[in-house]
């Protein structure tokens, strides 16, 4: 259990380091080798940070509204409220706001910038389909995202992806090369720099997906530790995987929030999914010894 959590955290740090190295490499190439200055590089970073901060403080409201989620109180659904409340008391985190999504799809997600401003949402379908210990496993998984500050990690990732993509787009449109004082010679450095800028948005997206997948494994392990019953979440994931009901309100922007990929499975869907395969998640859960 603890070794899996530690390994996931270490891999996330490694991927974030690669991210920063990629941005610094592009910045060096554009600012120093091309001799054009760092103005556009700094602008791109500033623009991405501002965009991410807006998303950070308002993204939860947008995500909840986009799914049609409705906030409930204890009297509206005592069963769900008690499950959430008991787990928050056990882990010592504040009680989040609880929402219900009117959909027969089997899914759930958590959002919010920190434990004090968190919300958890479950579909009516998952509430009806799962047994209590399975629902408890799902809720524990989502509360783990809150406790582990995954929203903060993903906000940083959004900043980095946005910065890299913006710089690459500006370069491809010729805005960074115009009037540049490119140094004589160094053709190989020039070729490597061009390849770096052209491929960097793709690499950034793949790193983002890898980090998202690592956080899912971490939330599975943390959720199992929270309930002391990995089998509950494992069975829940199997039922979620077997459900064919679509979550029509999901979008590419919110897909990473859900406990399982809300889109239809397929080779391309799995390759570019923010979630690891459910079969692998179930296997890992059943190998956990508490």
CA distance 45 to 59: 20
142 is catalytic: yes
Residue with the two structure tokens 């998640």: 281
Which pair of tokens denotes residue 262? 């809300």
Q: How far is CA 51 from the centre of its chain?
A: 17
The candidate with the shortest Cα–Cα distance to 175, out of 184, 166, 162, is 166
Q: Where are the beta strands (DSSP E) in 46-112?
A: 70-72, 97-101, 108-111
Contacts of 29 (CB under 8 A, 6+ apart): 189, 193, 196, 197
Q: In this structure, how many other beta carbons lie within 10 angstroms of the beta carbon of residue 61?
A: 12
Q: Which of 134, 136, 142, 216 is catalytic?
A: 142
Contact 217, 284 (CB under 8 A): yes
How far, in Å, CA of 284 to CA of 280, rounded? 6
Output helix, strand, coil percentages for the chain, rounded to the nearest 5.
65, 5, 25
Name the residues annotated as catalytic: 142
């Amino acid at each position: 259990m603890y070794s899996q959590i530690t390994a996931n955290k270490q891999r996330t740090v490694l991927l974030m380091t690669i991210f920063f190295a990629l941005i610094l490499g592009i910045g060096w190439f554009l600012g120093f080798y091309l001799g054009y200055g760092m103005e556009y590089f700094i602008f791109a970073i500033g623009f991405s940070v501002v965009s991410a901060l807006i998303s950070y403080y308002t993204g939860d409201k947008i995500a909840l509204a986009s799914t049609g989620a409705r906030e409930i109180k204890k009297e509206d659904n005592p069963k769900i409220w008690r499950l959430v409340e008991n787990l928050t008391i056990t882990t010592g985190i504040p009680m989040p706001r609880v929402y219900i999504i009117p959909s027969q799809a089997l899914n759930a997600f958590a959002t919010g910038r920190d434990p004090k401003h968190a919300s958890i949402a479950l579909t009516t379908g998952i509430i009806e389909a799962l047994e209590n210990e399975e629902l408890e496993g799902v809720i524990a998984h989502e509360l783990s995202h809150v406790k582990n500050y995954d929203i903060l990690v993903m906000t940083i990732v959004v900043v980095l992806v946005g910065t890299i993509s913006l710089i690459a787009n500006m370069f491809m449109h010729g805005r960074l090369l115009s009037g540049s004082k490119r140094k004589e010679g160094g053709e190989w450095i020039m070729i490597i720099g061009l390849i770096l800028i052209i491929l960097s948005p793709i690499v950034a997206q793949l790193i983002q997906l890898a980090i998202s997948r690592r956080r899912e494994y971490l939330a599975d392990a943390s959720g199992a530790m929270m309930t002391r019953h990995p089998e509950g979440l494992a069975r829940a994931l199997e039922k979620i995987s077997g459900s064919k009901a679509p979550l029509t309100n999901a979008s590419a922007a919110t897909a990473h929030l859900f406990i399982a990929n809300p889109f239809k499975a397929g080779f391309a869907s799995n390759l570019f999914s923010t979630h690891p395969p459910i079969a692998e998640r179930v296997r890992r859960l059943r190998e956990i010894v508490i």
